[in-house]
Amino acid sequence: MPMGRIGRTLSISLLAGAASVCAAQAPPANPVALKLSLADAVKLAMQQNPRRVIAGLNTATSNRDRQIAASALLPQAAMTADAYIDRYNAQSILANPNPTTIGPFQVFEVGPRFSQSVFDLPLIRQYQASKQNVITARAEESVTREDVTTAVVRSYLLALRSDANLDAVRAQVVLAERLYKQAGDLQRTGIGLRIDTLRAEVELQNQRQRLIDAETATRTTRYLVAELLLLPSDQQFELTDRMSYDKLVEVDSNALLSQALAARPEMKSVLSRQRTAELAHKGASEARLPRFDFLGDWLYQGRHFSDGIPAYTYELALQFPLFTSGRIHAQIANASLEERRVAEDRRAIEAQITREVRTAADELEAARKAVEVAELGLRLANDEVAQAERRFSAGVTTNIEVITAQDALARASNNEVEALYRFNQSRANLARAVGSIESTYAK
């Protein structure tokens, strides 16, 4: 084979080998973009958001603590086996003047030991308190679910606002490019002036700068959504919802306040903690009452396993606390302080809920009016741009009117985006204030 052909064959082989190595080392293709609606985002957060998962684990822990507290009231049994060798000095037992050795002798015993609390009010109160702690943990988990849902909705709406703002800025860039081209055409025909072209070009660069900022905001707001949903770092996603506006019926803040005080998980949590504090107070006060227990064992006992006989013990124990060095009094005082603290927490939460409901209702009404005003302003701004553009094309005026109308249109577009965002965010705030944001947005 000629040397040239050999060289070409070797080169092709080396290139093919290098291509296969590069293909093997090439990073995997980006995963398919996830279609993500607001309801899907909330459901996904309920599955894998760390705060929600930890709250669920806390509830499970409280349930296990309840089982532990219940076990103290139930029968206890254990299998024991002992073997020992004893030697005594009879002088320590009998009134012998001289030391006398007894033993050594060996004893073994094997069998079950058992006990049962018959009457122990402090243990009963501890069990009742543990049941209330489970209720409290479930309420706290609901609080966390509402908070996580609120954070997801807020971040999703922020991302939607960034998308809407990006679309508006892109439209402004297209408009600025058209007006810049129009100014250049008029200048070339002798109708327009160089200053008009420069002014239009400055406006175009300003809009392009706004486009850069809008694109950056669109990316950064998605990072927060990905963090809340615990998405993989390379997972791309698309938001399928859009900010909407619908005319709402009149909001009755008094009815919503009554609903919130009954449904908010914070209220359920503080009411459960209040019940727990009451049980702790009762348990501390009842520590002075007698305690009644039953204990016993059944043992196979003897010197050797071959000569053992059954032996048993049954015991009824009744205990009265006579002197505890002030422990019971301090426990009662401590329980009273806890009751007062929880009562103050309840008052603070009720005041907070009242403020949140009334504030959210007022903000929603204001946001609704703002959307209607912004929509009208946007229509007027579009009309202004159209008229200014016609006047400039006819040579009636310079493009100062066009640039001014452009700025007014940009402000009107921004006002509409902000008004829609405020409306949707206010509606979410009201749902959170009432205690129904998860049920509202997880559908």
Below-50 pLDDT ranges, the chain: 1-29
Phi/psi at 275 (nearest 5 deg)? -65, -40
Q: Structure tokens of 286? A: 């009842």
Residue 82: closest CA among 110, 103, 104: 110
H/E element, 315 = strand 309-319
Paired residues of 297 in beta bridges? 113, 313
pLDDT score for 66:
93
CA–CA gap between residue 308 and residue 117 (Å, rounded): 31
Residue with token string 């907070």? 352
Tell how strand 34-36 and strand 101-119 pair up.
unpaired
Paired residues of 78 in beta bridges? 113
Q: Structure tokens of 325? A: 């060095």
pLDDT score for 60:
95
Q: Structure tokens of 420? A: 């829609």
* Class of CATH domain 37-78+119-292+327-441: mainly alpha
H/E element, 291 = strand 291-302
pLDDT score for 348:
95
Query: Counting runs of H as helices and runs of E as strands, what totals does the chain give?
Result: 10, 6
Which region holds residue 426: left if phi is over 0, alpha if psi is between -120 and 50, else beta? Answer: alpha
pLDDT score for 1:
40
pTM: 0.80
H/E element, 371 = helix 327-393
pLDDT score for 130:
92
pLDDT score for 93:
67
